[in-house]
Structure 1
């Protein structure tokens, strides 16, 4: 009996099934359902090891329509898996793989080396071989090794429209996530495959040149401005190429921007959101330098709407440059960032208080009138009174200066401990002092709370340690 429902309606029903297993079961109902729903199964692809990649690659080589059905590719849960001698031989003697390798490679030597890495089960080789087939991708989430030469190679060829790309590829790709995984370096035997050490920034740059991409998320990015050698005839003061990228959202985690990520930020023609979390764990890190980000973001001050700087970053006492003193310097005024709605920043970077108890520039003179939410991190208890006073001035002038302001958050080391400085002595008995924000923190913030209530604003106090309990 034929179903009365048209295919379009059946597909809409199938799209409502969130579980992949449920979608998979649909293709076994009948031949009609198999042909109808099989592309839906391939819409969101997750690949976790070389066996998944091998199976998927053979499937889309056999039926290219399935490759065109893929909209999202996720390899973030990739884990290294050993390849037996029999499996390796099967990979390297596969006619389908050999034919596709010849189509992708520019030489027999390259094809042979690529096949060797496939036979080792390395994620870099497998994902680089799969990507050129997925012309309709909207989102890519990749886990990558430090040494990913074939992924880097295939993306550069995509940008240059070289073999195997005859026209501009990835014309629908909008969202890219790159996740460096140190465990893959170890498990996939980085030392055995050789090659120069890569940095995630080298993988990022080609995506900035794809016209459809809007969002980039990555971790462990080392500022390409500090590692890219100057071209012949250039000078250290030469400004980078401006405004060629369509990317509007950048989110960099556990990264090191010695020069404010200038190459990446200045490439964006209409940057709307910039989030950066610093980490001094990278060998090339010279420490967090807020003023460098102020300089690089200057070109985006008319478009930037969201700014997170150093959200819960990590700072070492010493870096490759020596004593780490720059992380508490002032970012600079945000007044000229006329589209800015959301700011999340550390107190020493928001106000110039490095060598004094009061800021050289009042908070009112540091904030744009467009601001809606302000989240201040890293407030030491000794600065809380000063910050409350500065925020009170902002709230009292809200109607004339900050009409869009709706919420203020203050985060710091505010929790009670077993022996705090409230003239309280920790109970040595079985009772343990509850981990909560200290009463005197609330008392110090009460005048600001009263002003916020009167002005219709939200005020929230946070402690970093408590937020993870």
Structure 2
């Protein structure tokens, strides 16, 4: 609380590690202090809410003004209803109107249709103008609806904060950490350790406000987290995960270079509205490293926002309670990942894709999903470290005779490669892989930087580890390439 109250002390903090679970008795009302201190704490809480959401007086005044305007509009509409529309012509008699109509008809008859073309053009122009006016009105209505939704969301958010900060008897760790985060504008590294069934919505509120430069970050000047470079988010054991929307704000911060996490859920049912606001090629993030990405669809929004990605390491996985297989919803598409990475062919140096325990069980060993190859890596001219599954590296044929038309590895891998790891090697096509690797190692002039080769067989492969690749050992030694063969293990 001292840091929250002392800006000079807050500016000295460079690293922050936050660990919280469910709401607990932690905060100014839970430490047994006297009534005066509790009153001071309550006042501080109210000031903090006013800082984040604006003073309530202003909100009330705005609400009253809105109410008065609405009342005025209602009165005006009522007056309009009571005032017949035809009275605007009260200075003209009905007979005059009839005479005008007759004159117009006579003029039309005398013109023998000569003005019909002009009338049609005028009608078309009027219709176009009406359509434009209708479109403008629709746009204005949509903007008003969006503003109203934002206001309602802000009020709802404040109410939730009040419940956690003031109203509830048990103080919540997360809300205090969120208040603390508002003050720490000189952070360089931040770690979130979350172990609660409830989503960290309060913390996310602060991060989204910072991303959108909303109160309390609405003042002109440097970004509130202009020095933040490293972000880590992880969960405890069990069925917990962190929604990907929690990390999206960091892809808008000006100095973040590394985003790391565990058990990140890229779910369908919790839409990430901020992700749709990310500008293409605007984020300075250079390294993405996620251990277990649940329901992974390739992190498309994040990758599109990066302008110079150097490292991406992900482990797609399934939640342990995903009982029903859904190809579109649960399956990770390697080809789509390649498409998302194409803007980084000149910068990407590390690409590592491995599967988690549940994904291996359901997709790989039970064969419920069809694995798609990544495609050629040749375009990634800066790629040095590559770790992928066997059937992501090459297209594994269902029928043996189709293997003949497949290009060799030497034609699909980049010349810049220094380390190659092939995991989950398919037992039925080991000889074909051996042939490819022998040629690759012997042609050292094609891959002058190759230093390391790691082969990981499947956990259910009955053949003795390494026996299938004995012929490769002397060739690697002669070429100065370090070679390792090991049996795969379930990654828990």
TM over 0.5: yes
2:281–2:306 contact (8 Å) kept in structure 1: yes
Once the two structures are TM-superposed, the CA of residue 396 in structure 1 deviates from its matched residue by 1.0
SS of residue in 1 equivalent to 2:470: helix
SS of residue in 2 equivalent to 1:221: strand
**Which of 384, 405, 426 is 1:341 aligned to?**
384
**Which of 160, 165, 178 is 2:233 aligned to?**
178
After the TM superposition, which residues 48-447 of structure 1 pair with which residues of structure 2 at under 5 Å, given as runs?
58-75=1-18, 77-80=19-22, 82-83=24-25, 87=30, 93=39, 94=41, 95-106=43-54, 108=56, 113-118=160-165, 119=168, 120-144=170-194, 145=196, 146-165=198-217, 166=219, 167=221, 168-181=223-236, 200-223=243-266, 228=271, 241-256=279-294, 259-281=297-319, 285-312=329-356, 314-315=358-359, 324-326=368-370, 328-357=371-400, 358=403, 360-399=406-445, 401-413=446-458, 438=464, 441-447=465-471
Aligned residue in 2 for 1:189: none
User: Judging changes above 3 Å, is the alpha-carbon distance between structure 1 residues 184 and 112 closer, same or farther for their aligned structure 2 residues?
Assistant: farther
Once the two structures are TM-superposed, the CA of residue 462 in structure 1 deviates from its matched residue by 1.7
SS of residue in 2 equivalent to 1:330: coil
Once the two structures are TM-superposed, the CA of residue 240 in structure 1 deviates from its matched residue by 8.1
User: Judging changes above 3 Å, is the alpha-carbon distance between structure 1 residues 466 and 106 closer, same or farther for their aligned structure 2 residues?
Assistant: closer
Bigger Cα displacement from structure 2, 351-360 vs 453-462:
351-360
Structure 1 residues 72-104: Cα deviation after superposition (integer angstroms, max 9, x where no partner): 1112x4344742896189697413333223222
User: Judging changes above 3 Å, is the alpha-carbon distance between structure 1 residues 92 and 182 closer, same or farther for their aligned structure 2 residues?
Assistant: farther
Once the two structures are TM-superposed, the CA of residue 112 in structure 1 deviates from its matched residue by 5.4
Gaps of 5+ in 2: 57-154
User: Judging changes above 3 Å, is the alpha-carbon distance between structure 1 residues 317 and 324 closer, same or farther for their aligned structure 2 residues?
Assistant: farther
User: Judging changes above 3 Å, is the alpha-carbon distance between structure 1 residues 340 and 226 closer, same or farther for their aligned structure 2 residues?
Assistant: farther
TM-score, length-scaled by structure 2: 0.66
Larger RCO: 1 or 2 (CA < 8 Å, sep 6+): 2
More helix by share: 2
Structure 1 residues 30-79: Cα deviation after superposition (integer angstroms, max 9, x where no partner): xxxxxxxxxxxxxxxxxxxxxxxxxxxx121343322111111112x434
User: Judging changes above 3 Å, is the alpha-carbon distance between structure 1 residues 130 and 356 closer, same or farther for their aligned structure 2 residues?
Assistant: farther
Instruction: Give the distance between the partners of 2:174 and 2:426, measured in 1 at CA.
Output: 45
Gaps of 5+ in 1: 1-57, 186-197, 232-237, 422-437
Instruction: Give the distance between the partners of 1:184 and 1:467, measured in 2 at CA.
Output: 16
Instruction: Give the distance between the partners of 2:297 and 2:5, measured in 1 at CA.
Output: 47
SS of residue in 2 equivalent to 1:344: strand
Once the two structures are TM-superposed, the CA of residue 242 in structure 1 deviates from its matched residue by 2.0
Instruction: Give the distance between the partners of 1:377 and 1:370, measured in 2 at CA.
Output: 20
Instruction: Give the distance between the partners of 1:279 and 1:253, measured in 2 at CA.
Output: 9
Superposition RMSD on alpha carbons, in Å? Answer: 3.5
Structure 1 residues 323-359: Cα deviation after superposition (integer angstroms, max 9, x where no partner): 8323x22111100001100001011111111424547
Once the two structures are TM-superposed, the CA of residue 175 in structure 1 deviates from its matched residue by 0.6
Once the two structures are TM-superposed, the CA of residue 464 in structure 1 deviates from its matched residue by 2.9
Larger Rg: 2
